[in-house]
Structures are given as C-alpha cells and as structure tokens.
Amino acid sequence: MENTLRRRAFLKMMAKGLFVSSGLLVYPSLGWSEDAMGYAFEGQSLLHKKYYIKAVQVLKKSVNLDPESDWAQGLLGRAYAGLGQKAEAVVAFRNAIRINPGDTYSRMMIAEMTQKPITGTQKEKKPLTPLEKKALEEEEVMLNRLNAKKGLGYNVKRVVIDAGHGGFDPGAVGQSGLKEKDVTLDIALKLNTKLNSIGKIKSFLTRTGDYYMPLSARTVTANQHQADLFISIHINANNKRSANGSETYFCSKKASSSEAEKVAALENSVLKFDETHKKKPGYINIEEILFRFEQKLYWTESGKFAKTFQDRFKKNLPFRSRGVHSANFYVLRRAKMPSILLETGFISNSSNEEMLKKPAFRDKIVDSIARGIS
C-alpha cells in the first residue's frame, strides 16, 4: 500500500514538475537527476532507444538507491530481457511483483520466460490439461453470472487514454495537411486534464508527446495501471471524400461488417513496426489460458461502453452518427478491462477536417468523451 501511494505521488510529480521533449521525460533545465527517480527516467529513455547494456547499468543505480521501487525493478527486468539474460530478468520482475502484487506485466513476463516445453510427441487433438479444464469451468461460471446480472456493472475510477499514432506514424492526413496524430494527442491531453481536474477519476496517458509507441505497449500501459476503461482515440479516413461522421468500435474476433474490417486493418497496419515476441513451439503459456475466458467478458462489456459513448457523440456533436461496430483491433485485443476505439470524424472529409482544426470543437469532443465516462 505504501509503495502504491508513493507511485501515485510520483505520477502526480511527473504531471506537475516534468515536461516532454522529443517523447522523453526530463527534469526542467537540469537533465537527468542523480537520484533513484532520475536514474529510472534515464533507464527508461535508454530502453526506448534499445541501449540495453547502458540501461542495466543506470537502472541498477536506481534500484540500489530505492530497492522498493516496483517501477525501477520492472524497467530493470525489461533491460535484462532485452539482453537475453532471462535469469536476471526474472529476479527483477519478481522483485517488482513482491513490491506491487498487481503488476500484471511483470507476471506476464515471468510466465513467458519460465514456461517449460511439453515432453513427448504432440497430437492434433490432445486431452485438456487440468488447468485448461479449470479455466473452462470458471469461464462458464462467469458467463452465467454475466447473463444473470446483464453486465458486470463496472465502476470507472481509473482510465487510460491512448492518443492514436505518433512520431514517424502520422496516421491519416487531411487534404489541408492536418495530421491525425496531432489531433488525437491534443484531444487526449485535454481529456486527461479534464478528468483529473474533476477528481473522481484517475486518468493516465499512453503517450504525452509526438513519438511513436508500439500498439502492444499501449495495451500494456493500460494493464499496468489496472485501468477500469481503456480509450483509444483516432480520426477516421476514407477514399470517398464524402464519408463523414463519428463511430465507436470495440474488439471482437470477427468484424461486424466489411467496412469495420477495413478500419481495423488500417489501424493495425503499423504492426509492421512493432517487435513481436516469438514463442518457441511446444511451450505452454499459462497466462494465455487464464486470459482466454476473461477476454469474452471484457469484450461484452466493451460493447455496452461503446453504445454509451456513441449515444453521447450523437447528442453533443454535429457529426453524423455512424453507430457502433466491432473488429479485431490489435490495440484493444490484449486489454484486461473494457476497451473502446473512438473514430471522431473523418479527416479525409473537408468539412470534418475544418471542424477538427478548431480548438473549440476539440473541446466539444473532450466534453462528450468525459460525459460518456462519468
């Protein structure tokens, strides 16, 4: 509990005393501070650049100064993992979990690095393991409860806001040159400020500046913050200039329409820039088995959130409402909470683009999203 309070205080300090330059958090005018937090920031920056050896050296200094920082321990685990030093990485991730038992990312990394191969020959159809049987039983129980209660009734207290695209990935670009990445970041920053000023909801951002962030890392951020809701903000585009309006998406294995499938394919296209974690054949991922039955519940609840947000857009914005749709969005797929993707207008439509340029209109979008959450 003490560590959690310290971590939240640290996040507040970030918001007040730090600024973003080229996507990196730094102390104003001083560079990196030579204390535990400063070394952790420097280590995080080195991780983004994939300077794993230097990152390990710096993060060791951080954990030596503050051994009870789950954040620094988790970063150290990532640095060791980048070097392929699994044993050291597991130790660091275990330290992070010891300090913060709710650190789902560290648990996931430990499970992936300590999984053991299946012995013997593989068959196309093999009997379920006891763990798989247990997961299926829990899935059935939870689905029955869901049907009985007509929803989980989430109480949103923590939200992670994702500004789509960024850095070398501009997203869609309008006829006048307006870039999706700039509009989504502005909306996300304003929404974060608005929600935190209200006081009833804790809000966090996946990116705070113009830099690229892998799709998988955005979801990991939401999971690490143990959010109750994950919102990914985007601006739509279409070859048909007449296409306009807003729509809200949630994740599903199969797209609800061919148009929804095209939108998901467009948003997933940046996956070629992401580093995929390749699993060796013959390994069991325990976390994946347990996550399988939870996922259906999150997606079901996401559909209800999507309807709430789209109703709010329809009421508050001078956009045509294009309804609620679903598709297999990578940025939503691994979220361990209800998650939605908002397409707030068409940047390819000259009328929509002109509105999206105006700060006052962006404020209306922010207000609509905030009302949808509350």
- Same-domain pairing of 174 and 273: yes
Q: pLDDT digit string (tens) for 295-310?
A: 777 888 889 889 989 9
Determine the pLDDT at residue 28: 37
Q: What is the domain range of residue 34?
A: 2-114
What's the length of the chain? 374
Determine the pLDDT at residue 300: 84
Single-letter residue type at 281:
P
Q: Tell me how far apart the alpha carbons of residues 197 and 241 are, in angstroms, rounded to a whole number.
A: 38
Determine the pLDDT at residue 27: 38
Beta strands (DSSP E) in the chain are 19-21, 24-26, 158-163, 202-205, 229-236, 246-251, 321-327, 339-346
> The domain spanning residue 367 has which CATH number?
3.40.630.40
- Whether 142 is covered by a domain: the verdict is no
φ, ψ (nearest 5 deg) of residue 34: -90, 55
Domain boundary among 90, 114, 138: 114
Over residues 243-263, mean pLDDT: 81
- Same-domain pairing of 73 and 154: no
Q: How many domains are contained in the chain?
A: 2
Determine the pLDDT at residue 120: 47
Determine the pLDDT at residue 9: 46
- Whether 226 is covered by a domain: the verdict is yes
Over residues 286-297, mean pLDDT: 63
- Same-domain pairing of 173 and 308: yes
End-to-end CA distance of the chain: 27
Which residues, 6 or more positions from 43, have their beta carbon under 8 angstroms from its beta carbon? Answer: 55, 58, 59, 62, 72, 75, 76, 79
- Same-domain pairing of 42 and 95: yes
DSSP string, 168-187: TB--SB-TT--BHHHHHHHH
Which carries the bigger pLDDT value, residue 276 or residue 339? 339
- Same-domain pairing of 365 and 220: yes
Mean pLDDT, the chain, rounded, equals: 79
- Whether 224 is covered by a domain: the verdict is yes
Question: Percent of the chain beyond pLDDT 70?
Answer: 72
Determine the pLDDT at residue 333: 83
Which residues, 6 or more positions from 195, have their beta carbon under 8 angstroms from its beta carbon? Answer: 159, 201, 202, 203, 370, 373
Over residues 337-343, mean pLDDT: 93
- Same-domain pairing of 99 and 167: no
- Same-domain pairing of 192 and 319: yes
Over residues 225-245, mean pLDDT: 93
Q: Tell me how far apart the alpha carbons of residues 94 and 97 are, in angstroms, rounded to a whole number.
A: 5
Determine the pLDDT at residue 31: 46
- Same-domain pairing of 98 and 162: no
- Same-domain pairing of 90 and 208: no
Q: Tell me how far apart the alpha carbons of residues 168 and 197 are, in angstroms, rounded to a whole number.
A: 31
Contact (CB, 8 A) for 300 and 154 = no
Read off the tokens for 15. 């918001």
φ, ψ (nearest 5 deg) of residue 105: -65, -45
> The domain spanning residue 21 has which CATH number?
1.25.40.10
Q: Tell me how far apart the alpha carbons of residues 183 and 187 are, in angstroms, rounded to a whole number.
A: 6
Residue 325 has pLDDT above 60, yes or no: yes
Q: pLDDT digit string (tens) for 11-69?
A: 444 444 443 333 333 333 334 457 888 888 888 888 888 899 999 999 999 999 988 88
- Span of 22-26, 47-51, 98-102, 228-232 with lowest mean pLDDT: 22-26
Residue 248 has pLDDT above 60, yes or no: yes
- Whether 223 is covered by a domain: the verdict is yes
Q: Tell me how far apart the alpha carbons of residues 54 and 241 are, in angstroms, rounded to a whole number.
A: 49
Determine the pLDDT at residue 35: 80
Residue 196 has pLDDT above 80, yes or no: yes
- Whether 35 is covered by a domain: the verdict is yes
φ, ψ (nearest 5 deg) of residue 171: 75, -150
Over residues 80-102, mean pLDDT: 88
- Whether 238 is covered by a domain: the verdict is yes
H/E segment holding residue 86: helix 86-99
Q: pLDDT digit string (tens) for 108-163?
A: 788 877 765 544 444 456 787 776 777 667 666 655 554 544 434 457 889 999 99
Domain boundary among 94, 114, 134: 114
Which carries the bigger pLDDT value, residue 271 or residue 59? 59
Determine the pLDDT at residue 171: 92
Contact (CB, 8 A) for 19 and 28 = yes
| Bridge partner residues of 327 (DSSP) | 251
Which residues, 6 or more positions from 278, have their beta carbon under 8 angstroms from its beta carbon? Answer: none
pTM above threshold 0.75: no
- Whether 144 is covered by a domain: the verdict is no
- Whether 138 is covered by a domain: the verdict is no
- Same-domain pairing of 226 and 338: yes
- Same-domain pairing of 88 and 158: no
- Same-domain pairing of 106 and 217: no
Residue 372 has pLDDT above 90, yes or no: no
Q: Would you give the DSSP letter of residue 84?
A: T
